Amino acid sequence: MDYDPMAMDDAESLGPVVKISQADSVRVKFELQNADISFANSLRRVMLAEIPTIAIDLVEIESNSSVLADEFIAHRLGLIPLNAEGVEHLLYSRDCDCEEYCENCSVKLTLHAKCTGYENMSVSARDLVPVGERINQSLGTPVINDKDGTGPLILKLRPEQEIKLECIAKKGIAKEHAKWAPSAAIGFEYDPHNKLRHLDLWYEKDPKSEWPPSEYAKWEEPPVEGEPFDFDAVPNHFYYNVETAGNLPPDGIVTEGIKVIQQKLAGLIHELTEGEGEGGYDGPRSPDYNSGPDTGYGYSTSYGGNGGNQSAWGGGGGTTPFGAQTSYGGGGWS
Amino acid sequence: MNAPDRFELFLLGEGEKKIAETVVNSIPNCSDFLMKKEDHTIGNLLAEHLKKDPQVMFAAYKIGHPNVPEVLLRIQTNGDINPREALVKILKQLVAAYGQLGREFQKELALRQYADQGRGWGFEWFNKVQMGWNDGGEKWCLLWLREESLGGGGMKGKNII
């Protein structure tokens, strides 16, 4: 019932096709069709590991009379999700001109709590206060989604105990440390009926009853009894479930992931077609350094052979990062 | 201790080239490309898509050691184009395909949000939405309403321009 043959006829020629089955503030569930598994998996890998976000990276502890060790608290602070809205305008500290960090490449947060009452006190992410100049008012603010409005618990204080510290949140990617991962989890699934036999399902008596069908099983044709194995079959439908940790909206993770992978590919095109670019900066450089919208790196014209696809990521000033052009059909991808 | 910095997984070192081509002299029309600071994300993607190209006779990648962030990609072509051209061609196709995916995603997302608003109109939910452009450049959209919301009327399409 979910598939209509009519809905498919424009899908064949167009390249990747997306169907979103759920989209809210926490997750986006979608199906990717007409793509091959390496294409789908690269997107998954990039969304997991290479989307820049912001997380606490340096902690200066002024006083800590709690029972927890300084480094223990510092580690907990690092794992608190911070709002990454506008992180694309934040520089990587290593690319910044400043000495160690500044407001162009970091967000400063302070935490000062003392238990003055007679009962133990909880210190949570809500008590982290961003201070100083920021790129926008939400960048670096701790993500608070629980119904009490406190955010993740950092530590507890007994009466008269005190914690006072200063945190520097920096931009980074999850390849360096998982604290920069924007996604809490990414579900990735294909071939729910295991028709391709990529899985060898362990079972005690009967795999059918012991392995309940996935929610996507009804989206695909069940295998017919006695049907011969199709040796040429390849996976063509991929089911994603992108769940955010709160720092980026779930759809933002997908669009950012696409952007990052395009930047990676475009960087290679640039290197391969540039010839001998003399005087180029050869030193260490962050993945997306110099490729922001305001720096003329020249990607927008260096590859544009395909139809109306003038710029792969939105040089056209459209509201989406993918430009407004839709007349892709020059026949690049099949 | 002596563990390398983790940013060395993705930051090019001093003087390092992102990608370097070495022609393989023992095989005709064959080159090795060494990509620094890359992993399976790029390696598998490129190798698999190169293999689909009719002008490419051989394509494969390897990561010599799991601790060393380098991808070696070997490409042999049929002689109509050289391996570098084949690689650039595939790269351009992939950038375009991901761009297409992004636009497709944005479009479907806008529609999903539109459909979710439909709940406010008394519909429980739309089962599925599909959107496209007709020959006249007009936008069309089909919304499959869930059966219950139609009082057992079955699947119905609704056309909105």
Rounded CA gap, A19 and A42, in Å? 19
What are the residue ranges spanned by the domains of chain A? 5-51+183-222+231-274+286-299, 54-176
Strand partners for A188: A240
Measured between beta carbons, the chain B residues lying within 8 angstroms of A329 are none
Mutation target vs B (from A33, A45, A173, A268; most B CBs, 10 A cutoff): A268
The CA distance from B130 to the nearest CA of chain A, in Å, is 7
For residue B116, report the phi and psi dihedrals to the nearest 5 degrees.
-65, -30
In terms of CA atoms, which chain A residue is nearest residue B95? Answer: A262
Residue in A7, A45, A287 nearest the CB of B40: A45
What ipTM score was computed for the predicted complex, to two decimals?
0.78
pLDDT at A41 over 80: yes
Q: Does domain B6-100 have CATH number 3.40.50.300?
A: no
The CA distance from A147 to the nearest CA of chain B, in Å, is 23
Residue in A251, A269, A323 nearest the CB of B92: A269
Q: What is the mean pLDDT of residues A138-152?
A: 93
The CA distance from B14 to the nearest CA of chain A, in Å, is 4
Q: What is the mean pLDDT of residues A60-88?
A: 96
Summarize pLDDT for A236-250 with one digit per residue, the tens.
Answer: 999 999 999 999 999
In terms of CA atoms, which chain A residue is nearest residue B13? Answer: A284
Mutation target vs A (from B44, B103, B128; most A CBs, 10 A cutoff): B103
Taken as a whole, chain B contains a residue count of 161
The CA distance from A252 to the nearest CA of chain B, in Å, is 10
CATH class assigned to A54-176: mainly beta
CB contact (8 A) between residue A328 and residue B99: yes
In terms of CA atoms, which chain A residue is nearest residue B141? Answer: A7
CB contact (8 A) between residue B98 and residue A177: no
* The predicted structure's pLDDT at residue B160: 45
Which range in A71-80, A223-232, A324-333 is most confidently predicted, on average pLDDT? Answer: A71-80
Summarize pLDDT for A273-310 with one digit per residue, the tens.
Answer: 986 444 444 445 555 544 444 333 333 333 333 433 33
DSSP per-residue letters across A116-164: -SSS-EEEEGGG-EEES--SSSSTTPBP--STTS--SEEEEE-TT-EEE
- Residue A15: C-alpha distances to residues A111, A221, A318, B98, B135 (Å): 50, 22, 22, 9, 19
Q: Around A263, how many Cα atoms within 13 Å sit in the side-chain half-sphere?
A: 21
Task: Indicate the pTM of the whole model.
Answer: 0.79
Rounded CA gap, A73 and B67, in Å? 30
Which tokens go with A235?
């996976």
Which tokens go with B62?
């390897």
Measured between beta carbons, the chain A residues lying within 8 angstroms of B140 are none
Number of H helices and E strands in chain A, helices first, is 6, 10
Share of chain A above pLDDT 70, in %: 78
CA triplet B38, B39, B45: central angle to 5 degrees? 105
DSSP per-residue letters across chain B: --PPPGGGGTS--TT--SEEEEE-TTSTTEEEEEEET--HHHHHHHHHHHHT-TTEEEEEEE-S-TTS-EEEEEEEE-SSS-HHHHHHHHHHHHHHHHHHHHHHHHHHHHHHHHHHHGGGGT---EEEEEEEE-TTS-EEEEEEEPGGGGTS------EE-
What are the residue ranges spanned by the domains of chain B? 6-100, 104-160
The CA distance from B78 to the nearest CA of chain A, in Å, is 20
* The predicted structure's pLDDT at residue A275: 62
Rounded CA gap, A315 and A334, in Å? 25
* Residues of chain B where predicted confidence (pLDDT) is lower than 70: 118-161
Measured between beta carbons, the chain A residues lying within 8 angstroms of B113 are 23
Q: Around A273, how many Cα atoms within 13 Å sit in the side-chain half-sphere?
A: 19
Which strands sit side by side in the sheet containing B159-160, from one edge to the other? B126-133, B139-145, B159-160
Residue in A258, A265, A284 nearest the CB of B102: A258
Mutation target vs A (from B34, B37, B41, B56; most A CBs, 10 A cutoff): B41
Helix residue ranges, H only, A163-319: 207-210, 250-273, 299-302
CB contact (8 A) between residue B96 and residue A328: yes
Whether the Cβ atoms of residue A139 and residue A166 lie closer than 8 Å to each other: no
Instruction: Write down the residue that tokens 């509201």 correspond to.
Output: A319
In terms of CATH, what superfamily is A5-51+183-222+231-274+286-299? RNA polymerase, RBP11-like subunit (3.30.1360.10)
Rounded CA gap, A217 and A214, in Å? 5
Which tokens go with B145?
């309403």
DSSP per-residue letters across A272-313: HHS-S-TT---S---TTTT-STTS--SHHHHS--STT---TT
* The predicted structure's pLDDT at residue B40: 96
- Residue A193: C-alpha distances to residues A41, A184, A186, A213, A231 (Å): 19, 26, 20, 7, 16
Strand partners for A28: A23, A242
* The predicted structure's pLDDT at residue B127: 53
Summarize pLDDT for A221-236 with one digit per residue, the tens.
Answer: 888 888 899 999 999 9
CA triplet A232, A234, A238: central angle to 5 degrees? 165
* The predicted structure's pLDDT at residue B150: 45
The CA distance from A200 to the nearest CA of chain B, in Å, is 23
Q: Around A269, how many Cα atoms within 13 Å sit in the side-chain half-sphere?
A: 25
Residue in B87, B108, B127 nearest the CB of A272: B87
Rounded CA gap, A207 and A210, in Å? 5
- A-B C-beta contacts closer than 8 Å: 191
The larger pLDDT score, comparing residue A312 to residue A202, is at A202
Measured between beta carbons, the chain A residues lying within 8 angstroms of B127 are 1-2
Taken as a whole, chain A contains a residue count of 334
CB contact (8 A) between residue A271 and residue B17: yes
CB contact (8 A) between residue A320 and residue B106: yes
The CA distance from A111 to the nearest CA of chain B, in Å, is 28
CB contact (8 A) between residue A261 and residue B98: yes
The larger pLDDT score, comparing residue B129 to residue A268, is at A268
Nearest Cα to Cα of residue A143 among A175, A177, A179: A179
